[in-house]
């Protein structure tokens, strides 16, 4: 669990960028919870939504193409942002460190 491994840093940065893009699109305020999953509006397909699993209070898998391949996606990132907001008790407008979102990811 060192932060100095290049491969891990890159993936963590991808999560940070995914979270930033989701925030820029104002996704956090469009989330709907359905049982054990959260519906996140698709940014590429109008009216579509992706399903992100919630597992024991952490962000599980996403059913989008990137998510199915285990790659960082905006949908999982934005659910992590929402969990961060709940913890902080305030609105998050910027993700300044990858760990702010990656620590909410089940498999990261």
Which tokens in the block code for residue 97?
A: 């460190």
Count of residues engaged in binding Zn ion, rule: CB under 5 A = 6
Question: CA triplet 54, 60, 66: central angle to 5 degrees?
Answer: 130
Q: Closer CB to Zn ion, residue 5 or residue 70?
A: 70
Which listed residue (12, 49, 73, 79) binds Zn ion by CB under 5 A? Answer: 73
CB of 102 to Zn ion, least distance (A): 15
Spatial separation of the C-alpha atoms in residues 31 and 19, rounded to whole Å: 14
Query: According to CB under 5 A, which one of 62, 83, 95, 101 is a site residue for Zn ion?
Result: 62
Question: CA 71 to CA 67: how far, in whole Å?
Answer: 5
CB of 25 or CB of 88, closer to Zn ion = 25
**Shortest spacing between CB 18 and Zn ion, in angstroms:** 9
Q: Contact at 8 Å (CB) between 52 and 27?
A: no
Residues in contact with Zn ion by CB under 5 A are: 50, 62, 64, 67, 73, 75
């Amino acid at each position: 669990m060192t932060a100095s491994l290049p491969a891990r840093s890159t993936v963590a940065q991808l999560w940070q960028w995914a979270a930033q893009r989701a925030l820029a699109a104002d996704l956090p305020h469009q989330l709907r919870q359905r049982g054990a999953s959260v519906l996140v509006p698709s940014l590429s397909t109008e009216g579509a939504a992706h399903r992100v699993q919630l597992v024991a209070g952490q962000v599980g898998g996403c059913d989008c193409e990137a998510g199915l391949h285990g790659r960082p996606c905006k949908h999982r990132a934005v659910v992590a942002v929402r969990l961060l907001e709940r913890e902080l008790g305030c609105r998050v407008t910027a993700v300044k460190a990858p760990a702010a979102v990656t620590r909410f990811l089940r498999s990261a």
